[in-house]
Structure 1
Amino acid sequence: MSWKNHLRGDLLLLLTALIWGSAFVAQKVGMDHMGPFMYTGIRFALGALVLTPLILYFGSLRPPSAAGQKSPSILLAGLLSGTILFVASILQQVGIIYTTAGKAGFITGLYVVIVPLIGCLWGFRPGAGAGVGAVLAVTGLYLLTITDGLTISLGDSLVLACAFMYALHVLAIGWMAPRMDVLRLAALQFWVCAGLSLLVGLALEELTWNMVRSAAVPILYGGVLSVGVAFTLQVVAQKRSPPTHAAVILSLETVFAVFAGMIILGEALSPRGWAGCALMLAGMLAAQLDSVYPVKKVLVDRIRRLFKQTH
């Protein structure tokens, strides 16, 4: 693949990270006008509506590797992934009411570190990068969120729980996506998440046309751009970029979340907070080193070469 194709893929991934990072601002502003369940439900319904014509246009995107395999039911898969997505999204949406958009972006991004750690339960042995990444991320999380008396705010704790749920979602999608049509799975999980959110919202929250009109921009950004367009950009871009390479670029979502919060909402971080963000970003990147760069093998090879040179 030519360097131009790689560059196009990287630019699309960078745009995706920018949209996702800025969406934290839209989510926070949306809470000024309506409840978290209603906002989440309308947002994901719009995302599903954006994906529907793409499914009709592209047809089936079932991976060739799935041919001849006994695949799980896409309805069950969509119900499972959509339910996990619903819990993760609501935890994030409620948490963002009580914390800043920038902090929410960084804490949510911890799922990159949590995924290989949860993978241990399935017999996956994370390498050195995951271990180093976990230490850096936890240290950064402490600096960013823990205050006097070793307390963590309600908003930060809810978003941290959201990061664990997103990690479960990544693992579930990682198992299901190679076995079925990815666009149909995505749209189905969006509809499940939207349906659950709207059902709870109708029971617990008020919704009027004035609320929807006042929150129109955050809803459109969070639904059409963040859910529908950004997901599609990611799928298109990852045809040109390796998954691990793509993950590194998408990690910049957390950085964009901080800067969007500063520029649009006037949020500010203390020097301690900036140090925490830097450590967390380093931890997210380190957690991917084992797949981007074979750390253990390289270290062994270098030690062997050094040994030969000295003897």
Structure 2
Amino acid sequence: MKVNHIRQNVFPVLAALIWGTAFVAQSVAADHVEPFTFTAARSAVAFVFLLVLCLVFRALRQRDFHGEAQPRPGSRRDLAVSGACCGVALTVATNLQQMGLETTTSGKAGFITALYIVIVPIAGIFLHKKAPRAIWLSVALAVAGLYLLCVQESFSITEGDWYVLLCSFCFAGHILLIDHFTQKVDGVALSCVQFLVMAVLSAVLMLVMETPNWAGLLDCIGPVLYVGIFSSGVGYTLQILAQKDSDPTVVSLLLSLESVFATIAGALILGDRMSGKEYLGCVLMLAAVVLAQLPDFSGKRGAPVREP
């Protein structure tokens, strides 16, 4: 039980830390290659990394079972279906976000994307997975904190903002799909298949809608490898492992700390200065996360609250 508690709380925070610090690498890569090219490259790197990881885990299991028949979490069909569904959702979400960033600011995009922390519990109501009532206070605090942290200018709606809003719905769908499929298949294998799907779909879109710049891709190979291995391969796998038997609303709150880590990384690595408004946003975000972890707020630990 204690191991499950650590997995459900530490893993999503680590994922948020990786995603937040990867913002610098993504910004560098955006100066060299177009969105679909970058997404295809990072997804291919993530797939190869996770495939190697799956093979290593398989070899270790065979050693532990001395070549005997061993329990397999889920069939190949379950894995294919879950990987396809999660891969499509993640592909659409990632590329909508990248399209939106062409005409909106990164701060607004970060705030609108993180609205999945509101969409997830609302969608959960229709899926008979209610979040505890008290956790809505955490959601409200997190939204307020995200606004202070991300939005530095007057808030107006642009075409890019609509793309990013659609992206937040897709990310919420991705979280809910993972909540459903992690009960059936191995988490690392699911992450591997979803990135194979993402790499194939993004490569097709790249060839249809872009002119691949191979020289530019080589110029940013470092950021591509970092984002592919850590942000994609490690980060999303941590999310999948964290969501097994967890409340998706609490996990989404922890994942939204990405905005806090991105702001801190910008200050430490790029020398960006944080304003008082941003500091207050960080405090509200952290308060929301702490409240969500209190027993009276999160309800029964280790499982989503379901309607009868």
TM-score by length of 2: 0.75
| Alignment length (residue pairs) | 288
Deviations 1:227-249 (A, max 9, x none): 1233456678x59x995687766
2:296 aligned with 1:294, yes or no?
yes
Which residue of 82, 89, 104 corresponds with 2:87? 82
Q: CA offset at residue 173 of structure 1?
A: 1.1
* Structure 1 contact 33–211 (Cα < 8 Å) conserved: yes
SS of structure 1 residue aligned to 2:156: coil
Q: CA offset at residue 73 of structure 1?
A: 3.1
SS of structure 2 residue aligned to 1:165: helix
Which residue of 159, 167, 181 corresponds with 2:172? 167
SS of structure 1 residue aligned to 2:33: coil
Distance 1:125 1:74 in 2: 27
* Structure 2 contact 135–298 (Cα < 8 Å) conserved: no
Question: 1:298-309 residue pairs with structure 2 within 5 A?
Answer: none
Matching residue of 1:122: 127
Deviations 1:45-101 (A, max 9, x none): 10010000111121299x97967xx99632222211111010111122233445555
Q: CA offset at residue 188 of structure 1?
A: 1.0
Matching residue of 1:200: 205
Q: CA offset at residue 296 of structure 1?
A: 9.1
> Cα–Cα, structure 1 residues 275 and 113, in superposed 2: closer, same or farther, change >3 Å?
same
1:41 aligned partner, one-letter code: A
2:35 aligned with 1:30, yes or no?
no
1:293 aligned partner, one-letter code: P
The percentage of aligned residue pairs carrying the same residue is 39
Q: CA offset at residue 155 of structure 1?
A: 4.7
SS of structure 1 residue aligned to 2:21: helix
Q: CA offset at residue 268 of structure 1?
A: 5.3
Matching residue of 2:67: none
Q: Which moved more, 1:252-261 or 1:224-233?
A: 224-233
Distance 2:140 2:245 in 1: 26
2:225 aligned with 1:220, yes or no?
yes
Which residue of 267, 274, 284 corresponds with 1:262? 267
Deviations 1:103-126 (A, max 9, x none): 544543442332111111112333
Which residue of 186, 190, 202 corresponds with 2:191? 186
* Structure 1 contact 28–97 (Cα < 8 Å) conserved: no
* Structure 2 contact 43–228 (Cα < 8 Å) conserved: yes
1:45 aligned partner, one-letter code: A
Larger radius of gyration: 1
2:255 aligned with 1:253, yes or no?
no
SS of structure 2 residue aligned to 1:59: helix
Matching residue of 2:17: 18
Q: CA offset at residue 175 of structure 1?
A: 0.6
* Structure 2 contact 107–151 (Cα < 8 Å) conserved: no
Name stretches of at least 5 consecutive residues in structure 1 with no aligned partner: 299-311
TM-score by length of 1: 0.74
Distance 2:8 2:138 in 1: 26
> Cα–Cα, structure 1 residues 116 and 247, in superposed 2: closer, same or farther, change >3 Å?
closer
2:41 aligned partner, one-letter code: I
Distance 1:181 1:8 in 2: 15
> Cα–Cα, structure 1 residues 51 and 147, in superposed 2: closer, same or farther, change >3 Å?
same
